[in-house]
Every structure is written in C-alpha cells, then in structure tokens.
Homo-oligomer: A and B are copies of this chain.
Amino acid sequence: MTVMASFVHPNLADVSLAAALHALSDPVRLIMVAKLDLGHDLNCTAASPCEPVPKSTISNHFRILRNAGLVETKSAGREMINTLRRAQFDARFPGLLDSVLANRPA
C-alpha cells in the first residue's frame, strides 16, 4: 500500500493580509512565487531558486506558501506539482500580488 502525501490548502477567506504578506516576505519564496507565476504546474525542482537550497528548506517554504493560500500542491506519480493559486489569491487580495511581483529586483 502506498501512503500518499496530502497537503492542506486553506480557504482564501481564512487567510489574513498579515499572513499573506509574511509568506511573501522572504527572498527565496519571492523567487518561487515569481517562477510559479511564469510557469504553471512546476515540480519542486523547477520552482526552486537556482542557488542551492536544501530540499527540506524548499519543502518548508512550500508549506508556508500553501498555508497562505498562494500555492496548491498535488502529487502526480512520484512528483509533487505546484501551482500558483493566482485567481483565488487575486480575488482575496486584489492587486497585491501584482504590485509585489512588479517590485521584485530585475
């Protein structure tokens, strides 16, 4: 029997503005969100920054992003596929993610 990892995805209505900003307030998570914004359905490696970051650190960043309603993670075979919950996040916090991503360093 295979035990599948299951992930908790909150209702966006339950995510506070402070929690959303906290999830975005880290340089590595900002890179991950920007990558997910450009390319949908990325596995963990593709969504990670180029610099070497330990896998457990990336997992923790994904957990924080999921808890803030920013990312959905699904298991697909042996991979975990991550998608930005763009439409739902934008509906909850209009304009916020756009202005954050627009202010990322070039």
Question: In the docked arrangement, what's the CA distance between A100 and B103, Å?
Answer: 13
Is residue A58 contacting chain B, with contact meaning CB distance below 8 A? no
> CB-defined interface of A87-104 with B at 8 Å, one 1/0 digit per residue?
000000111101110111
Cβ-closest chain B residue relative to A102: B95
Q: Give the secondary structure class of A's interface.
A: helix
Is residue A76 contacting chain B, with contact meaning CB distance below 8 A? no
Give min CB distance, A27 to chain B, whole Å: 5
Is residue A36 contacting chain B, with contact meaning CB distance below 8 A? no
Q: Do residues B99 and A95 form an inter-chain contact, with CB atoms below 8 A? A: yes
Give min CB distance, A80 to chain B, whole Å: 24
Inter-chain contacts of A25 with B (CB < 8 A) = 18-19, 21-22, 24-25
| 28 A–B contacts from the bound complex (CB under 8 Å) | A16-B27, A16-B105, A17-B30, A17-B100, A17-B104, A17-B105, A18-B26, A18-B27, A19-B25, A21-B21, A21-B22, A21-B24, A21-B25, A21-B100, A22-B22, A22-B26, A24-B25, A25-B25, A93-B99, A93-B103, A94-B99, A94-B102, A94-B103, A95-B99, A95-B103, A96-B99, A96-B100, A98-B99
